[in-house]
Amino acid sequence: MGYVLEILASLVIILLGAKYFTNGMEWLGKKLQLSKGAVGSVFAAVGTALPETIVPVVAILFGTGAIGHEVGVGAILGAPFMLSTVAFVVVGVATLTARNRESRNIMPNRCIRRDLTFFLIVYTLAVGATFMSPLGKNLVVVVLIMAYITFVYQTLRDEECFGEDDVVEPLYFARKQEDPDQWRIILQVVLALGAIIVGAKLFVDGVTALAVGLGVPAFIFALLIAPVATEMPEKFNSVIWINEEKDTLAMGNITGAMVFQSSMIPALGIALTPWELSGAAFLSVALALLSAAGALIYYCRFGHLSLKVMIATGGTFYMVFIMAVIFGGLR
């Protein structure tokens, strides 16, 4: 019971740290007088991406040997899997239940097509690295990093991909100030970063101890649990944007994260671990790729995304993985 409480506490700490860090990074971007597009596409992206970066890094560098690597790889692969399955279902259900929407289809602009194409290419390459020599893996790391840099560059050049919302919430450390002091911004960012690191260490320790105690692979725990704190809360912003018919923001919030999670984070895993993936790992990857490919094909053919298709495919693929683990003994 103690380990479960430790994991729950760590998830809360990571979630709050991520929320405060993202808010601080957005304000830091404004203070540096960057364009609205750069603030939204780069600074906010760094803020939301940091927790899922820190969890595997802490697990790999400070975890307990092979189990630490399991937790790290599980956290790395868990985010793309969760985003391409559960997050799709969340957006689909939000569209279905939205009261003020004129359309029951999801109508993002063409940037979604680029996001999904990038995801399919780089994630396939990242997983393929498991079959390569050490030199080949090192080359893949470089390619993945360069691919994401290219993606960011193209996003910054394309104003259509910035989305429809430039509003930044008040700084949490100075809610009543319209123009908060820079020292408050920096203090909030630093303290939030510290909270994320502490939460990540608690999470890794808790998952490791619980996995050993129950005899369940730490990889499975990390894959299914880590994204709950590092990914899904932020993606509930998509529910708000769907209700406001800001479909590009709603889907871009998910697909943009998918690109980061399939390039930069796997690059860390390939560089810092043997990167030898298990059967469960390959299944999670295959299901994530199938779900994303289905969404891309549908969008290219019809010019929109069907909520029914997203709910059906995302939900089905997620349940297939759960059933394979529970009843198929997949590890």
Identify the pLDDT of residue 167.
62
Low-confidence ranges of the chain (pLDDT < 50): none
Query: Hey, is 83 helix, strand or coil?
Result: helix
pTM: 0.83
CA dist 274 → 120, 123, 131, 270, 281 (Å): 23, 17, 11, 7, 14
- CA–CA dist 249, 127 (Å, integer): 28
Helix axes 44-62, 218-230, angle to 10 degrees: 160
Distance of CA 88 to the CA centre of its chain: 13
Identify the pLDDT of residue 61.
85
Report the half-sphere exposure of 74 (CA within 13 A, side-chain side).
27
Exposed, middle or buried by CB within 10 Å (0-12, 13-18, 19+), for 164? middle
Identify the pLDDT of residue 1.
65
Helix then strand then coil, in percent of the chain rounded to 5, is 80, 0, 20
Residue with tokens 């691919």, as numbered in its chain: 147
